[in-house]
Structure 1
Amino acid sequence: MEIKLLTLYSDVTAVPVKWLWHPYIAIGKITLLQGDPGCGKSSMMMNLIAELSNGGSTPDGRAFGPPQRIIYQCSEDGAKDTIKPRLIAAGADCRNIAFIDEEVYSGLTLDDERIREAITEWRPRLVVIDPIQSYIGNDSDLQLASKARKLMRRIGMWASTYNCAIVLIGHFTKNEGAKDLYRGLGSIDVVAAARSVLQVEKSEEDAEVRIVKQVKNSLDSNGADLSFEIRPHTGFKWLGVATEESDMEESQTVAAFEALPKNKHELAALLIKRALGKGAVESMEIRRIMAEYRIGEKTMNEVKAELGIKPYRKRKAWYWILPGSNN
C-alpha cells in the first residue's frame, strides 16, 4: 500500500481555536508567563488554578465550565508548607490538582518523559511548569536555538496531542533595556514557540499592584492589560483592566471586573447591549456570550423582550439588533 507523504489542505477540516481563557491562554498551545522573581506570577496562576479546579470563572467573569484537572509542577516552594496552604486560601479543590513529587522522582526536566506520562494518566486541562529555569538540564539548552526549538516543539506536541493548555512560568533576565519579547530567559525560539506571551510587572504608582500585559498573541488580537494586587492583610485580588479602553469589541474583557452586576437579568442586559452596541449580531453569538457568563435561555429571552429586541433572518442566519439601530 502506497503511503502518501503529502496531505492536501483541501482534506483538512478547519476548526476554531479552543480557549481556556480568551484571549490569554489557549487549549492545545503553549503560553509563556514571565516577569521578575517575586512579582506575583505564581500567585496569579494559583488563583486561576483554584477557579478552574472548582468550575469557577476567569478574572473577567467568564465561566470555566465543569471543574477541570490541573498539573501544577513547582520546584521553588514546598508542597506541604507553602503550595497547598496557598491553594486552600485561594479556594481550590485540591482533589483536582496533582504534581510529580520530586522528592521521589528527582531530576525532572522540562521535556521529561515522566511529565508526558503524568499528562496521559491524569488528563489535565491545564499544565503549569513553575519556573521553567528549574526544569532545564542546562541553561545553555534554552540559549541555543536548535535545542530550544526542539524542546519547545516537543512540549507543544504534548499540549496539542493531549488537548491541554501548557503554561511555562519564567523569570526575566537582567537585560532591562531589551524589548518585552526578549526579556525572558533563553533563545527567542522559546518565545516563538509560545502562542501567547504574558508578562507581569509592578505598577509604578502602587508597589502592591501588578500589571499583566499580553506582549504576544499569535491566535487573536492582544488582550487588554489587566491588574491585580497582593497586599499583606487582604492577599490576592483581581482589580480589572489596567488601561482605559472604553471601546472593546463585543464580549471581550469588561472594563472593571468588580463592576459586573450580580443580578443575572442586569448582567444579561449589560452584555447584550454591549454586544449590540455597533449593530446587528448573530443570535448564536449572543447565546455564546450568555453561556460564558452562565446565563440561562429563560433569562436571556426575558431580557430580549424587555429590551424590545426582535430578531430577523438574513441569509439563513438569525440576527439580533437593538430597536432604532440600522441593519
Structure 2
Amino acid sequence: MTSAAPTEHDSTFPARFHELFGSNELWHGTYKPEPTPIAPGVKVEIRSTAKTLPGAPNPELWRQHLAGEQPLGVIPIREDDTCTWAVIDVDELDFDHAAIAARLRRDGLPLVVCRSKSGGGHLFLFLSEPIAASVIRRRMREIATALGYPPETEVFPKHDTATSPEHKHSAWLNMAYFQGDETNRYGVKENGLAMSVDEFLDVAEAARLTLAQLEGLKASTPSKADRKKQDGDSKAPTPAEFEKLLDGWLRILAEATPGKADNTLTAVARDVGRWASVIDMNLTTIEQRAREAWRQRGKPDAEFDAQWERNVRWGQRRGDPPRLSEAAATPLIRLLADVPMEPIEWLWPGRFAVGKISMLAGHPGLGKSQLTMYMAAQVSRGRPWPFGEGKAPLGRVLVLSAEDDVADTLRPRFEAAGGNSSMVEVLDGVRTDKGERGLNLADDVRLLDRVLSCRDDYRLVIIDPISAYLGKTDTHTASEVRNVLAPIQKLAEQHRVAVVCVSHLVKAAGTAAINAVNGSGAFVAAARIACIVTKEMRDEEDEQGRTVKVETGRRIISIAKNNLGPDGSDRSLAYSVDSRNLGDGLEAPLIVWDEPVNMSADEAVGFREPGQPTKANDKGMRFLRRMLRDGPALSVDVEKAAEAEGISLSTLKRAKKELGAVSEKQADRWVMYIPGRQAELPL
C-alpha cells in the first residue's frame, strides 16, 4: 500500500499526536505490521507478534507510526495513576461507526469514534488535564453501559493504578492512523466518511474535557434498534458473502452502458475496498476479474488503471462494507437525458389521464357514481366527451364499488348511459382458503395487478369509494395513505389505465376546494387531477329583500387541481340528472350535459380567499366598469350583455355590490349606474 502524499502539515502531526495521547513514561507497545492471516471474519489478534518495549512514546515513534514504518501502542495510564485520554473498545466486526457518531453527537457526548484494526470501534475521550484513572474508568464504564454495551466491553485504562510489567500486553492500545491518511484505522464522521489526519487532530483537540465536564456527561439509554445491533443481530462479514456480492457487481459492470461504465467501475472498486478492510482477500485476483468484466465493454485498460487502485484505497479507508442483506434494495437511477419525452395520454382530455390517479370528490347524493358510470359507458364504446372535449379511448373498464349494488344501481345507470356491458367487469372481492372477503388495497395490490394483467385493453379503473378499500390504513395519516397509493400509481403506469378514485368532501364549509377532499391531503397530493362535484347555487332575493342561496337543480363538475393541464373557472361543466326507461319496469337516472359554466372549484364549494375577488367576480367587475363608464345603462341591457359574456346573474350582483353600483327606476325603466364615479372607472 502506498503512503499518502506529504502535506505542509505533516511535520507537526507527530508532535500533536504525542501531546494528545499523553501516556506511560516507561513503556510503549508495537507489533508486526502484517500479522499472519487467520480465519476471515474473526478479530485480528496481534498477541503473538506484540512487544512491550521500554521507553515512552515520542514524536519519532509517532512519525514512524504515521508513515507506516512501525505500529505504535500506547498505555493511557501514567506513572502517577492519572490519564489524559481513555477509550471504550467495542469489539464488533459489524460496528456501525456512523450511527454511533451521530448518537454521541445527539447525546452531547464529545467522544471521537475511530475504526479499529479489526473493524470494531474505539470511542476516544480526551481530557484537558490529568485525571485519576479510577475516576475516568468509572465514568467510561458508566457511559458504555448507558450506550448499551455489555459489561465485558473493554475500557482503557484497564486498571486504576499503573500496572506491573507482566500486565503490559493488555494495558496498551493500538493507535489510529497507522500509515496516515492511507489507513483503515481512522476517525469517522457522522456521515460515515473517514476523517483525514488533520481533521482527526482538530476534532480530538477541540473535544478535550475538564474534570467537571467529565462528571457532567450523561448518555441516554439505547434505542431498540441500537440494542438489536449490539446484541449481534447481524452476522460477521464472510468471504462467501463477499463472493456473492462480487459476482453481482461484476455482472453489472460487464453489462453497463457506455455512459455508465465509469461510474459503475468506481462503485465496484470502492465496495471491494470496503470489504478488503474487514476480510482477507487476494486483491490481485479480484482486480483481474474486474478487468475482464471491464474489457467486455470494449474499454481500454488505461481507463481501468486510472480508477481501480485509487478507489479501492478509498474503500479501505471508508470501511463499513455493503452487506448481502442490503443487495435486495438497489437504488434505481436514470439519466434525465436518456428518458424520452412523451405526451400526456388522456382518457378525458384535461380531466382524467391514462397512467395516472385522479380524484372525483363530492358530497353524498350528488351523482358521483352516476358520473363514473357515464365515463365507463363512454370508454366501453369509445364515444365523444361533451362539448367537443375529445373522444374516449375504446377499452375495458374495471369497477370496484363498495356502496352501490351492482344489480339494481350500477348496471341500470350504465345501461341508461348507453354503455356496452360486455366491456365492464366488477371486482367483488377476494376468495381465500378461509372464505371470501373484501379487497384491501394495502395488502392486495398484487391481486389487482393480476386482474389487469389478464387483458391488454383495460383503460379505466374506478374505485368507489377509495376509503372502503384501504383496510386498517389511517386515512388521515399522510404517510400511510402514500404507502397505499404509490403502488396503485405504479399499476396505472404499467397497465396504461386511468384510475379514478371516488371520495367525499369534508362537511365543514369555507374550505378551499383542494383541501375539501375528505381524509389526508395525501389523496389529493397523489392524484394528478382532482375534480369536485357540487350543487349549483344562485343568488335570489327573498320577500324581505335579502340575498339567499337557492339550488338550481343542476350539478357542477369543476377542477380543483390539475398537474397535467389547465384548470380554472373556464373548465367547469354543468349537468342535470334525468331518467330513462329501460323496459321491464326498470327506470334509471341519466346524466344530461347542459353547458360549460364560468365557475372555479373554489366558487363551487363556496370558498373565497379573504379580501380577494374570485376570478368570476373580477370578470364581472371589469364588465360593469365597461358598461357603466359612460353613464347609466338599462338594467335589462346590462343583464343580457352579461349573459352573452358568460357572466351569471349571481356573479353580476356580487360585482355590482363590490363596485357600489345601484339600480334605480327612471321613467318606468330600471337603470344601473355608479353614482358620481363614471369618469373614475378604468376600463
Q: Same fold (TM over 0.5)?
A: yes
Letter in 2 for 1:35: G
Q: Percent of pairs identical after alignment?
A: 32
Cα shift at 1:231: 3.7
In the alignment, what sits opposite 2:420? 93
String of CA shifts for 1:142-168, please: whole Å, max 9, x gaps.
Answer: 211111111111111111111110000
> Which one has the largest radius of gyration?
2
- The reply on whether 1:128 has 2:462 as its aligned counterpart is yes
In the alignment, what sits opposite 2:346? 19
Selected match of 1:227 from 559, 571, 574: 574
Cα shift at 1:102: 3.3
In the alignment, what sits opposite 1:198? 531
In the alignment, what sits opposite 1:110? 441
CA distance in 1, matches of 2:535, 2:353: 25
CA distance in 2, matches of 1:194, 1:160: 13
Matches within 5 A, 1:235-246: 235-243=590-598
CA distance in 2, matches of 1:188, 1:119: 28
Secondary structure of residue in 2 paired with 1:70? strand
CA distance in 2, matches of 1:6, 1:77: 43
4+ runs deviating over 6 angstroms: none
Cα shift at 1:115: 2.0
CA distance in 2, matches of 1:236, 1:15: 34
CA RMSD of aligned residues (A): 2.2
String of CA shifts for 1:30-52, please: whole Å, max 9, x gaps.
Answer: 11000001111111111111111
Secondary structure of residue in 2 paired with 1:31? strand
CA distance in 1, matches of 2:561, 2:480: 22
In the alignment, what sits opposite 1:177? 510
Cα shift at 1:187: 1.3
Secondary structure of residue in 2 paired with 1:208? strand
CA distance in 2, matches of 1:145, 1:228: 33
CA distance in 1, matches of 2:418, 2:392: 16
Matches within 5 A, 1:133-212: 133-138=467-472, 140-205=473-538, 206-212=551-557
Kept after mapping to 1: 8 A contact 2:464/2:501: yes
In the alignment, what sits opposite 1:28? 355
String of CA shifts for 1:225-257, please: whole Å, max 9, x gaps.
Answer: 111111467742011201189xxxxxxxxxxxx
Segments of structure 2 that go 5 or more residues without pairing to the other structure are 1-251, 257-263, 265-331, 539-550, 581-588, 601-683
Kept after mapping to 2: 8 A contact 1:110/1:132: no
String of CA shifts for 1:116-174, please: whole Å, max 9, x gaps.
Answer: 22222244100000111211213x52211111111111111111111110000001122
103 and 109 in structure 1: CA distance in 2 versus 1, 3 angstrom threshold: closer
CA distance in 2, matches of 1:95, 1:243: 38
Kept after mapping to 2: 8 A contact 1:170/1:185: yes
Secondary structure of residue in 2 paired with 1:43? helix
Secondary structure of residue in 2 paired with 1:134? helix
- The reply on whether 1:55 has 2:402 as its aligned counterpart is no
Secondary structure of residue in 1 paired with 2:537? coil
Matches within 5 A, 1:255-270: none
Letter in 2 for 1:108: L
Cα shift at 1:77: 1.3
Secondary structure of residue in 2 paired with 1:222? coil
Secondary structure of residue in 2 paired with 1:60? helix
Letter in 1 for 2:388: G
Kept after mapping to 2: 8 A contact 1:208/1:231: no
Kept after mapping to 2: 8 A contact 1:55/1:63: no
- The reply on whether 1:213 has 2:558 as its aligned counterpart is yes
String of CA shifts for 1:6-28, please: whole Å, max 9, x gaps.
Answer: 32111111111111111101110
154 and 195 in structure 1: CA distance in 2 versus 1, 3 angstrom threshold: same
Cα shift at 1:191: 0.7
Letter in 2 for 1:167: V
Letter in 1 for 2:573: L
Cα shift at 1:107: 2.0
Kept after mapping to 2: 8 A contact 1:50/1:93: yes
CA distance in 2, matches of 1:143, 1:241: 34
Segments of structure 1 that go 5 or more residues without pairing to the other structure are 246-327
Kept after mapping to 2: 8 A contact 1:30/1:195: yes
CA distance in 2, matches of 1:86, 1:207: 23
CA distance in 1, matches of 2:566, 2:389: 18
65 and 43 in structure 1: CA distance in 2 versus 1, 3 angstrom threshold: closer
Q: Which has the higher contact order (CA 8 A, sep 6+)?
A: 1
Letter in 2 for 1:240: E
Secondary structure of residue in 1 paired with 2:593? strand
Kept after mapping to 1: 8 A contact 2:467/2:475: no
CA distance in 2, matches of 1:108, 1:73: 9
String of CA shifts for 1:248-289, please: whole Å, max 9, x gaps.
Answer: xxxxxxxxxxxxxxxxxxxxxxxxxxxxxxxxxxxxxxxxxx
- The reply on whether 1:67 has 2:398 as its aligned counterpart is no
Q: TM-score, normalised by structure 1?
A: 0.69
Secondary structure of residue in 1 paired with 2:359? strand
In the alignment, what sits opposite 1:256? none
In the alignment, what sits opposite 2:48? none
Cα shift at 1:61: 3.3
Kept after mapping to 1: 8 A contact 2:428/2:438: no
Kept after mapping to 2: 8 A contact 1:19/1:26: yes
207 and 108 in structure 1: CA distance in 2 versus 1, 3 angstrom threshold: farther
Secondary structure of residue in 2 paired with 1:230? strand
Kept after mapping to 2: 8 A contact 1:200/1:210: yes
Q: TM-score, normalised by structure 2?
A: 0.34
Secondary structure of residue in 1 paired with 2:452? helix
CA distance in 2, matches of 1:157, 1:65: 22
CA distance in 2, matches of 1:180, 1:166: 21
Letter in 1 for 2:591: F
Higher helix share: 2
181 and 166 in structure 1: CA distance in 2 versus 1, 3 angstrom threshold: same
In the alignment, what sits opposite 1:266? none
Letter in 1 for 2:452: I
Letter in 2 for 1:219: L
Aligned length: 244
65 and 156 in structure 1: CA distance in 2 versus 1, 3 angstrom threshold: closer
